[in-house]
Structure formats: structure tokens, C-alpha cells
Structure 1
Amino acid sequence: MPKLIPNIENRVRKLPKPATYSQALQPLFEAVSNALYAIEDRSALGATMAGDVRISITNLTDAGKFRVEIADNGIGLDADRYEAFQTIDTDFKRARGGKGVGRLFWLDAFERIHVESLFNEEGGIKRRCFAFTLRNDEQIVEEDLPNGYVGRQEVGTTIICEGLRGTSYQKAFPKQKATFLRYFSAHFIADFLVGNGASVEVNLDGEPTKYPEAVADLVIGRDLETGDFDISDYGTFSVKGFACDKEASTGLDGNHQLHLLANGRTVESRKVDGLIGLSTIAAGERDDLYFHGCVSSEYLDERVNEGRTAFNLPEDILKEISRKCVEQVRETALADQMVSYNATRRSNYDEFVSRHPIYGFDDPDVQLSRVPFSAQTPEEFATGLVKYQIRRDEERQSTMENVIELLAKGDSVPESFAERLQTAVREVQSSEQLALAQHVVRRKLVLDLMGKLLTRVRERADKQDDFHLEQTLHSFIVPMHVAGHDAAEKRSRAHDLWILDERLAFTRAFSSDKRFDALLKDSENAERSDLIVWDFASGLGVVDPLRDGERVDTSKPLEKVMIVEFKKPGRKHYGPEDQIHFQITKYIDELRGGEIEGFERQRIRIAQDCVFYCYVVADIEGDLKRQLSTWSKSANGQGRFMPLQGDVNGSIEVIQWQDLVNDAWARNEATLYAAKLQRGRPG
């Protein structure tokens, strides 16, 4: 009668070839799993022996001479198990997740395989020996013990595999002892953590490592169980958790681990640091431990691949299962430890929103649910929330556009229009309030810091080696050595010139501490002015051509320019060469009639009759007070003012540092009040 004839060589050739350490070790892991199952079977029949598996490996670094011997004291290859061994795709171990193909991986991985087994049968203990060979006929060749070989003396099975077959296994198999032990421990960690009653010894070229002692010694806490819980669409799960010494995660990706099991064996371990949130967990008197959780479920048992190397599930489902399992761990096994973590996380979030109000656009609990559970820093909160902020802005924009479109059509306005309009207005107002709060928080911080910085600089006023503090103050207002209009300038052009004048808040037409010969065409003057500005809202002559996307007419010369000089707060000594009037007029003489190379390399002429608005920010005391004694007082009576005469048009005003800060506070008073912020105390 015709029948299907199996082609074993072709079947083995089609097995997936290893690309990683874990995959290359899988045939060996299969043999060890069989040994553990055999011990469980013997114990189930009433045997009282202590389960024992001995794994001896020699020549780990030499693929041709590699040899592994796996010996157990399990039930042995009795008639039923021997028949199952001879049957491809047997369902003998189906209840445990066995696919009946594990020994095919042996044929794929090893050149030579020898099996010896002692088992109980009617009439006493029987021995069975055979070679297992990759070929289409007679893969199992029964044989006697070699001459001089004593063989096993007790019930159980010994499997000897020699020589790594094929370049894939030869390249992917680990060559270092430490690497081998890390992967071996990771693969069987669930067995060793949960405990299956068997002891395992791995002897690598004469160096033994005993399990579960090697892993059990790392377990500090064992009472982190969730009990059974349901995950929608996937059935019932349970997690048995352990608090382990950090060494238990050596060689694994991440610290906290979730081990997904199939039929009691680890299929894959997943890093869950971000899902746990806690950097470490506590158990007993220690708080520097990592969580290891073993996940069991019929759903996973039924969906493991035939080599038990992976689950036949999409990654998004495995991620969802992992997330739900860790959520259950947080709510049960780690509930007490999460109380403190959640309080700290909420406090960090509240502080983040107080400093960055634009992210406070929804209920705090809702916002926290939108970011990774491990998020605690401003960067992590912002990264998680920015996409929701963009969606919110887009929805608000669409709402406004729809209202505008409805009005523009000229059709009859529906009764619901008023409600739609009110909704759109409320959304705009809410957005404006958040944007205003963000703006004000930053300005308050800048002004508070400015006050502290002024105080510190004044405290060091007499220290000649503290010139860097004066530079710091200058750079705080506007970066030094920068031409704001220069597109080739790589340094930051961000500034806080609004402290001087609100109209300068967004200007890029400025030069800060740049040499005149770098600013003006044909200039050979190496001197520097602290700040020169030739564009702000009142129209000092030029509009930034990039601002409105329009090229402007630069043929007309500049008629207004601002010059600012910063003097160190607390400075009292000004020599004859430090005359304010003389310094400013030197700068004006250099600028009048010159050409600034402006935006897009366009040259901007400065008119001979240009009006120069010149400001000196200083503390009027000591020599400077005497120098300015003949100048007119400013409107508040604290500053000094002098018009420029003769060939120069303009004026010089000396402003006290504290007045500069006070005026900035006054200009922002309304917005500060609206945001319920108060001025910080002087430093």
C-alpha cells in the first residue's frame, strides 16, 4: 500500500539556522530539557531519588573537537519513550509543549550523537544504546557498548554529542565559558527560580557550576506573586516574581526581567525596566534588587514554535501581554513600593508643568497615563506628551478654520453655530493662556536670575581678576562675539534683549562684541562695541528681509542706530581714558558713513546724519558719578542724559543696572500677575 516516505536529510536542512548564541545553543538546551522532563516522569511514578543532571563540556573553543555529555537519572528510554523517539513529530510530550522535533535539531547541530539509557522493564533494568545519525535510512543504529566502556550504572539517560556541524553553528556557538554560562542561566532561570526539584551541574573543561545554587543564592525575596488574572482576548495568566541580586541580570538586556514560559520552560526573557518604573526594588533589608517574573499561561503554551525558541505571535501582542503582566505586578506584588514611586513621579510632573505650562493642557492623571511609566524627568515627560500637544493644536486649528469657512460661504448660519463658535473661542483662549504662562515663567526666571547675578557681580566689584563675571552678565543678555544677522554664524543667536527694550525681543539685526573690521566694509578698526542694533519695531531703518519672506530695498541708508555699552555693576574706578562721552563718539565716528554687511550679504549704508541712540548700563557711583555730574538727570532722577551736538545726531543715556531690571519687571507686571507669579527676592 503506498505511503509517504519521510526525507529526514531534507527536513533537517530546512530547519532554521542559528544567527545568535541563544539559537545556536537551542539543540543543547533541548537535550537538557528532555533530561529534566525524564526526571519529572520518574518522580511522578513514585521514585524518591533526588533529580540530578550532569552536563560536561570539553573543547568549547574548538568546533571540530567540541564534546558535550548530558547525563540524567530520569525514567530512561523505556519502550513507550523509545517508540516516541523514533517517531518524527510525535505528540508524546504534547501536554508539555513538546513538538517532537527537538532531536532533529541535534542532527542539524552535531556531527556525532550517541545515546545510552537504562530503564526499568518487567524482569529488571534494561540497557539501550544507539548512534543517532543524519541520513534518510536507519538514523537510529543500535549498538553494544564499546570494549572497555563500563557504561551507566543506574537508571537514566546519557547523550553524547560531538563536533559542531555546519558553519552556522560553528560561528554562532559561544566560545567563552562566561558567555555560555550567562546564556545557559538565562534560558533555564525560570526552572531554577521556580524550582523543579532537579539539581544541574555544568562542568566546562573541569570548572563546575551548580544550579539552582548559582541562581538561588541571588534570590533575596520570593513572595512577589500576582495570583491568576485575566487579560482580555488572551485568557488567564499568572506571574511568579522574585527580588534578585543585580548579578542575576548579568548578560541579559536590561535589569528587570519578565520571563515568558511555555509549559514551564523559558522561551524568551524581556527587559521591563521602563514598565516597572522603579530603578530597583526592595526585599528584606535590601533596596538594590532587580525584579524577575516568570509568566505562565495556556495561551503561551499553545503558541510556542516547534523548537521552543520563540512564540508564534506578533510582537505587538507580546508587548501587550508583557505590559498587562507588569501592570498586574505593580498593582499586587509591588503595590507598597509603588506608592512612594507614584508620589515622586506626580511631584516631578507637577514641577515640570509649573516650569513648562504648555504641557499642562489636560488633567494630570490623563497626562501621566500618556507617558511611559518610567518617565520622571522633564525630557521624558515632554517626549511623551509632544505628540498629544501637536494633535491638540491641529484639532484647534481645524475647528477655527471650519468656523471661518462657514462664515465665508455666505450660507445660512445653523442654530448650532453659536455653540461651535464658543467652543472654538474657548480652545483658543486656553491655548493662549498656556502659551502666556510658558512665556511668563521664562521671563520671571530670567529676571530673577538677572537680579541674583547683579548682586554677585557687585559683591566682587573690587576683584580685578573677576572680569569673567562682567562677561557673564553681558552674555546673559545677549551672546558675545555674535552677529545676529549673519546666516553663516554657527553660534546661538538667541538673546534676551527685551530686558533693554521690548521692541528688541525678536531682532536679529545686532552685533554683540564684534570687531568693527568684522562688521563694517573697509574698516581696519579692531575695537569692539558691546552691542550695536540697527533694527527694531519702531523702524530704525531696516526690516529683516527674512522676517516676512520679502526682499527689502537696502539702497536707503540707515537713519537710526542703537549703541549699548555694559559697565561692570559695582565698578567705581574710571580713569581719564574711560570717559563715556569720548568712548561713544569714537564708536559713532567709526559707524557714520560705513557699510554693514547685512542679511544675505546685502550691504546696508549708515547715513552721515544717522541718529544714534546710545545707552550705557552702569552703576552711577565713584568716578562715574563725578564724570556725569554736569549731565541732565533722566525722568526717574536716577539716570543721566546728554544730547549729542555738532556733527553728531543723537543722545547718550546712562541707565542704572537696577533701574534696567525694575523697568523690565514693570513692563511684564500685568502678565506676571495674570500667571499668579511674584517677583523673586533680590539676591
Structure 2
Amino acid sequence: MSEVILPLPELRHSFTGRVRNFNLPPTASNCMMPVYEAVTNALYAIQERFPETWADDGKITIEVLRGESSDIGAHAPVTGFLVTDNGIGLGDALFGHFCELDTEYRADKKGRGIGRLSWIKVFNTAEVSSVFDRDGEKVARSFAFRLSNERPFDSYLESERDDDAATGTQVKLDSFRETYNAKAYVDPADIRNSLLAHFIALFAQPKRLKIDLIDERKTTNLSNLFFDSIVGSKVPVQVVIDEHHAASILHVLLPKKLAPIGNSLIYCAADRSVITKPISEMIGLKALPNDTLGPLIYIGLVSGPLFDDSLNHERTGFDFGDIDFEVVNKVLVDTAKSFLDPYLAEPRRRNREMLDKLLETNPLYASAIDDIEGYAAGMPLNWDETRLVQDVALKRHRYTKALFKQIEKLEANTASMSDETFAAHVSRLTAQLGDAEKSALAQYVVERRWVIELLKERRKIDLSTSRHEPENIVHEVFCPLGVTSDTMDYDDHNLWLIDDRLAYYSYITSDRPIRSFAADTAEPEPETVERRSDLTAMGAFGEAGEPDLAIFKRPMLFRRANTMDPAVIIEFKAPSKTAYSGAPGDNPVIQIRKYIESLLEKTCYSYDGERIADINKGTPFLCFLIAEPSQQLYELLRQHQIHKPTPDGDGRFAYLEDLNAYFEFIPYDQVLKNAALRNEAFFRKLKVERLPATPAKEVPAA
């Protein structure tokens, strides 16, 4: 049988499909992406025409195109942009690369060959006209770039020009597509600031290319505006990340009125900004005080080969491979803080004065702070008196709870003590209480109310960002993260917010891997090994899992005779989370079941190896899911037969017979409501009425 040689198959390209798959969500910043790309191309064209003198001889003009305003005094809507340069022009070789999807031209500059696709992703029309040299003669090329497989280059023309015709390129981007139009910037300051922020690595160079922004008949030289406004040194410094990686950072201080963003680290690559990380919260100030220039904004420009080589395909992030971005970010944040130390001296002095005043008028709080100097040094610089009182009150609250716990232990062990030993303990506790401590019970209840208010604050949405606090910030109100009872004070938590009985458990792990506190007591039986293997294959078993809270072993005083201690598992979800896919990694019921399965037939140990509890099939589990209610969550719970409503109507509970586990979903609103009701009962018991819900502006007396 003879073989027939056929032509080799060809791989076809769909231009419209490639643009459709270009990931560019409709945001204000992404509406500017085509302009950024046009300016970047203009920069490369200028550097190619003037390799040594590009900063002196090159020029880029960005003109904002606007329609008619319907309101007198309002800014007219932006319809597009006109980007003009005096670079080398769109010659034959360069136009050949323009026609090639995902071209590798300029790959050495981290170009991805897809930037021009954003022109027709965001705008309905993109018109290009260019003058260039061809064999010693000037030629003009123009076309309309269209979203079409058949005619991507519409109205294509070439014509000869006079020898003295200026080379360069003009790109006209016009008519936003509908999905982007509503998001586009309108205010000239927003447009100016977005260009400053995106090309900040270019503007901060000693070489200043002339880039003019023309908007509403006003011309602004962006390079001069940015560079002349920098306060202090303009020389970058080297920073060691680890033994294999380094970075360069330029510390920039700008007057707040000209700063494009707040205090930030800007990670740059390929002469452009890629990721902006706000750091105002980390340094504790929104602006740095300066008596001469007014408030200043800090910007750390981070760059280097590490970032150039790791830039992702869309130029929106980095893929470092063997190093975590958060590790890199922490080193650079610490570097920024060191640079800013001289500027933060005065706010730190004010913080210390505020703390001294609080402790002078409320000596009761001093017992909660072991190291006053260390506490003052760590205070965020944007705290006011109310925020300071809240934090110190929380520490005082935990201190008081620990003291009460000592009294409870004394009561529990009274029968085994001699009269002399009991008297000695009473004397010691009485001395600890002292005159200032006599009001501790009332203070304790007030502070509980402040903790409830703190949880309310952490649940609120930030209107400036339309975001809730992340899960870990809310988790911290209930219990510190990443700790066990070995590394925190016995009662250094607020689990009473969920259920007062949880305060009496003697061992807690918070956000720790199961394998760090639980292990097989003996070699597992073959059936156990087989079951774990099957569960692992389904994603239902894993010793690396980290329960938000796992709680074991109640003291004898609170244990019923002939009963086993229940093990408690608590899972928190972020206040912003209301959508669940139901997949194993996004299903809180499966998560909690996985934690239980991973604990069965194991022994829990403290950090120093002390045996805490044995977990077996007879061990009862109490499981709490703390989250925001949503239709998706209720449906997910129903699928797992967790559908009985709690008395308030919003929660759900069920008994999972196969795991001997009681499961309860408690909405955040109900957690707050229940905690407040229990706390009001304390108020009535103490006959205390009308105490403040939050710390007043004036520091409350002890």
C-alpha cells in the first residue's frame, strides 16, 4: 500500500478570538491601558531614532479628546486620545511585527507583542498614521485598525512625502466600547495622575523625556511636573532580599497635592509600573508632615532584573517561582520604614504624650501593658485617643479575665488545700486586686462591650474601597492567629463572643496545621490507613489542613461525670464572602468534615509534647461556622442536610451522625446580637446602667 504525501496542516489564527481572550476587565485603570501602550510604543520609537539623545530630542504628546458637556462648568466626557511622537516611524520591518500576533519583537524589553490589541479591545476605532524612511525616501503609511478577521487593516494607504517631512507616528484612539465607557476617567486630574502613576519609573529617571499632556486647552509637561516635585535625593539604593535576590529602590517624596497615589511601593518592570502596594496603614500615616512644603507622600520605586525577568504575560504581576511575593514585599516595606524614620519622629512623640496622658488619668490600664516603651514604639501613628483607649481596654480586658481565672482555679481546688495554703492564695490574689482593681468587674463588662463594638467595626465595609476587612482581621478579634495555648496567655481570646462556655476550654490552636499538634498514638490499623487513603484521594483528609480554631479539653470543674470532652472546631469566613462554588476548596462543610476526619484516631499534644486529648470515633465534635448568610450558603448547607433553623431563624444546625458532630452556622449579626444580650445580663447583675457603648472622646475614669 503506497503512502500519499499530503501538505502539512497549518495552524490558523483567529484575530477576533485573540482579542476576545485578552483579559482586560472594564476598570478606570484598564480604560487607560491603550493609552499606556501607545505611549510605550512611542517611547521605543524615539529611543530607536535617537539612541544616545532620546531624552533631549524625543517628544511625545498626549491629547485628550472630549465631546460636548451637557452641564455648564462640568468636564466634557472623554471620547478618546491622540498620541503623537517624533520617533523612527512605523517602517516596513516594524509594521511586519505589528501584523504578527504575539510577536517576539522587543521580547528583550519584556514586550509581549499584544499591547496594541488593547486599542481595539477598549475603543471602537484605532487610526494610525506614520512617516518613515524607506531606502532614503520618506513614506507615509496610514490605516484604521479594526476588530475583524477579514479586514483588520481598513483604509490602508501608502504615499510618498517630501524629503523634509518629519518622521513619527500618530495613534488616534476614539469612541470607547460600551462596557468601558462608563468606567473611563473624566476629571483631567485623574487622567494626569494615572499617567504619572503608570510611567512613574520613567518620570523618576534623571533623563527627562518631554511628555506633554494636552487637555481642555491646557498643556502640562508631565516629566518636569513629576521630577521637579521630588523632595530629597533622587539616587536609588540596593536592597538585599535574600542570598539569591536583590532589588533597587528609589525613595521618592512628593507634595501631596501632586502625588498620583497615597504612600505606596510601586513595583516596576520594563520601564513601567506593574503593581502598586499601599503602605499608609503599615507606616500609620496617610501623609508625612513637612512645615515648608506641606504634607508629603512617600513612593518607593522598586525595580531590577528580578522584576524584569518575572513579569507576567499581561504585565499585571510577577511570577517569581522560588520566592514568595509577600516575602519580597515585607523586605521592601521594612526598607521604606527605615527611610521614613526621621519623618515619623514627631508623630511618635505625640503618640507617647497621648499614652502618658491616658495612663496618668486611668492607672487601671497600666497593669495591661508590660512594656510601656515598647508599646508606645509600636502604636500606629494615625491612632486618635479613642482608638488608643479601645486597644488598651482590650488588653486590660484580657488581663482581668486571666485574674478571674486564677480565682476560679482557687475555688476548684479548695477541698485539696490546707487552711494555711488557701489563706496564702487568697492573700496573694487580694494583693493583686488592690484598690484600683476593686472596680474591675464593672470595667470588665464595659470592655466586653468595646470588644463587641470592635467586631462591628471590623465587619463594616470601607466605603472608600467598597471592600470588607479580610477574614484574618475579623479572626483576630476572636483569637490571635497562628498561636496555641502554649504561646498565648490562657485566656488571651474572646471566644465568649460565640459561646461563654468556650472560655473554659484549656487548650486552643488558632490557624495551625493539624500535623503540628496531632499525631497517631500508635501505628494505624490497615483499615484506618485504607480509609485515609480513600479520603485523601477525594480531598477529604489532610494533615496540612489548618482549622481556624480547634479547641480541646475542659477543666474538671465544668465536665459532666462519665462524659467525654467535646472537641470544638470553628471556621470563619470573610464578611465579604457570600458566594460559594461548592467545590471542596470552597465548601465550609467539606472543610470542617475534612478537619474532623484528619483528627480521628489521633492524639493532640501541646507544644512541649504534653498529651492533651485523644480523639476517636466516640469523641463528640462541636462545629461552628461563622459567616455572612447568603442564598448560596443556605443551599450548600441544605445539600449536606444542615437545614434546621436556629431560634433566631437565620442560623442553621444539624447533627452529623456519621461523625458524631453537632454543626451550627451562626451569622455574624447573630454572634453580635447574642454576645450583646449576654453582656447586658452582666450589666443588670452589676446594677450598672447607661455605660458607654464605645470609649468616649474624654478618657473614662478608672
TM-score (norm 2): 0.51
Contact 1:18 1:172 in 2 (8 A): no
Contact 1:370 1:384 in 2 (8 A): no
Matched, 1:169 2:176: no
Distance 1:546 1:331, change over 3 A: closer
Moved more, 268-277 or 237-246: 268-277
CA distance in 1, matches of 2:180, 2:94: 28
Which of the numbers 27, 30, 52 marks the counterpart of 2:37? 30
Deviations 1:236-293 (A, max 9, x none): 233312332231136x4x4x34433233312354543333445654679545433333
Deviations 1:554-603 (A, max 9, x none): xxxxxxxxxxxxxxxxxxxxxxxxxxxxxxxxxxxxxxxxxxxxx9xxxx
CA distance in 2, matches of 1:201, 1:426: 79
Letter in 1 for 2:149: N
Contact 2:255 2:293 in 1 (8 A): no
Distance 1:47 1:189, change over 3 A: closer
Matched residue, 2:62: 55
CA distance in 2, matches of 1:431, 1:2: 87
Matched residue, 1:585: none
Matched residue, 2:169: 157
CA distance in 2, matches of 1:400, 1:265: 63
Please give the residue correspondences for 1:80-99 in structure 2 after superposition, counting only pairs within 5 Å. 80-99=93-112
Which of the numbers 331, 334, 337 marks the counterpart of 2:338? 331
Distance 1:155 1:327, change over 3 A: same
Distance 1:61 1:32, change over 3 A: farther
Deviations 1:303-329 (A, max 9, x none): 555443556799xx7777556434323
For residue 9 of structure 1, report the CA deviation from its aligned partner. Answer: 1.2
Distance 1:225 1:376, change over 3 A: farther
Distance 1:370 1:120, change over 3 A: same
Matched residue, 1:40: 47
Matched, 1:273 2:280: yes
The alignment partner of 2:335 has SS state of: helix
Distance 1:385 1:112, change over 3 A: same
Matched residue, 1:244: 254
CA distance in 1, matches of 2:428, 2:201: 53
Letter in 2 for 1:188: F
The alignment partner of 2:9 has SS state of: coil
Amino-acid identity (%): 22
Matched, 1:218 2:254: no
CA distance in 2, matches of 1:384, 1:83: 64
Distance 1:222 1:324, change over 3 A: same
Matched residue, 1:484: none
Matched, 1:367 2:362: no
Letter in 1 for 2:437: L
Matched, 1:183 2:183: no
Moved more, 49-58 or 179-188: 179-188
Contact 2:55 2:209 in 1 (8 A): no
For residue 107 of structure 1, report the CA deviation from its aligned partner. Answer: 1.5
Please give the residue correspondences for 1:175-324 in structure 2 after superposition, counting only pairs within 5 Å. 175-204=186-215, 206-219=217-230, 221-223=231-233, 227-231=237-241, 235-249=245-259, 252=261, 254=262, 256-277=263-284, 280-281=287-288, 285-286=292-293, 288-302=295-309, 304-309=311-316, 324=331
For residue 25 of structure 1, report the CA deviation from its aligned partner. Answer: 1.5
Unaligned runs of 5+ in 1: 413-417, 443-544, 551-598, 600-671, 676-683
Contact 1:257 1:291 in 2 (8 A): yes
Which of the numbers 70, 89, 110 marks the counterpart of 1:76? 89
For residue 106 of structure 1, report the CA deviation from its aligned partner. Answer: 0.8
Letter in 2 for 1:4: L
Q: What root-mean-square deviation, in Å, do the aligned CA atoms of Structure 1 and Structure 2 show?
A: 4.8
Distance 1:548 1:248, change over 3 A: closer
The alignment partner of 1:354 has SS state of: helix
Please give the residue correspondences for 1:595-606 in structure 2 after superposition, counting only pairs within 5 Å. none
Distance 1:286 1:211, change over 3 A: closer
The alignment partner of 1:267 has SS state of: strand
For residue 381 of structure 1, report the CA deviation from its aligned partner. Answer: 2.7
Distance 1:67 1:288, change over 3 A: closer
The alignment partner of 2:157 has SS state of: coil
The alignment partner of 1:89 has SS state of: coil
CA distance in 2, matches of 1:145, 1:118: 10
Contact 1:218 1:247 in 2 (8 A): no
Point out the structure with max Rg over C-alpha.
Answer: 1
Matched, 1:378 2:385: yes
Matched, 1:100 2:107: no
Contact 1:273 1:279 in 2 (8 A): yes
Letter in 2 for 1:351: K
Q: Count the aligned residue pairs.
A: 431
CA distance in 1, matches of 2:232, 2:49: 28
CA distance in 2, matches of 1:381, 1:436: 21
Unaligned runs of 5+ in 2: 1-7, 70-75, 444-679, 690-700
CA distance in 1, matches of 2:369, 2:432: 8
Distance 1:145 1:127, change over 3 A: closer
TM-score (norm 1): 0.52
For residue 53 of structure 1, report the CA deviation from its aligned partner. Answer: 0.3
Distance 1:156 1:367, change over 3 A: same
Distance 1:347 1:226, change over 3 A: farther
The alignment partner of 2:84 has SS state of: strand
